[in-house]
Structure 1
Amino acid sequence: MNSIDACLEGIAKLNERILAEPEAERRRVIVERSVSVLVPDLGTVFDMRLTADGLSDITHRPQEAPAPRAQVHITVGSDDLVDLADGRLDPARALLTRRVRVDASMGDLLRMRKLL
């Protein structure tokens, strides 16, 4: 099990990967969305905004703390989150094996697939 700090570092790496894409491509693919990432083994939720300028307003809170429902909700274990960020876990395989669960509209799912 990884720590909250390791997960925050992983989120920062994912943000770097998003920002490495050409700006025109990011603006074409990304529609601003609120995102929550539930990490059950840490009892923590990371809340953030996804925009064409990357991930912003990243905060974390206890899982049981109330918050508005995000437009994209992701559930992932801390080890898998860090492995995804480090490129050791294939995003498609993680989704197919249910190591990562995404609750979002079909349009959001298709757009997110292009980011990963």
Structure 2
Amino acid sequence: MATVQECRQALDDLAKRLAANAEDARKRINLDRTLACRITDLGAAFHGRLSGGQLLDIDEGDDPSAKIALSTTSDDLVALVRGELDFARALGARRVSISASPFDLLKLRKLL
């Protein structure tokens, strides 16, 4: 099981990758939404904002009113960010769940 700090590092790494490719990401998905990432096996959560193809303002704690919520285990989060776990397969196998409006889900699909 990954630690809370490893999950935080994974989200920071993801934010850096998105920032490095923000121009391309912005062309594919231009959302400004609050985001919550819930780590089910640790009982921990992080929240931030998806804006302009970037993941911004990551902080500890849940955001119950987040427009997009992702739930997964700590190991799966780390594996997803490292590219060791395919997101679509993880979603299909219910190792990851996403709660968002149908419109947002369609937009997010473009990132996969």
Fold match (TM-score > 0.5): yes
Runs of 4+ displaced beyond 3 Å: none
CA deviation after TM superposition for structure 1 residue 17, in Å = 2.9
Counterpart residue number, 2:84: 88
Query: Could you tell me which of 95, 101, 105 is aligned with 1:99?
Result: 95
Q: Is the 8 Å Cα contact of residues 11 and 81 (structure 2) preserved in structure 1?
A: yes
Q: TM-score, normalised by structure 2?
A: 0.88
SS in 2 for 1:101: strand
Give the percent of matched residue pairs that are identical in Structure 1 and Structure 2. 40
When the two chains are superposed, the root-mean-square deviation of aligned CA atoms in Å is 1.8
Flag the 1:10–1:25 CA change in 2: closer, same or farther, 3 A.
Answer: closer
CA deviation after TM superposition for structure 1 residue 22, in Å = 5.2
Q: Is the 8 Å Cα contact of residues 18 and 115 (structure 1) preserved in structure 2?
A: no
**d(CA) in 2 for partners of 1:52, 1:24:** 10
> Is 1:55 aligned to 2:51, yes or no?
no
**d(CA) in 2 for partners of 1:55, 1:22:** 9
**d(CA) in 2 for partners of 1:114, 1:43:** 29
How many residue pairs are counted as aligned between the two chains?
A: 112
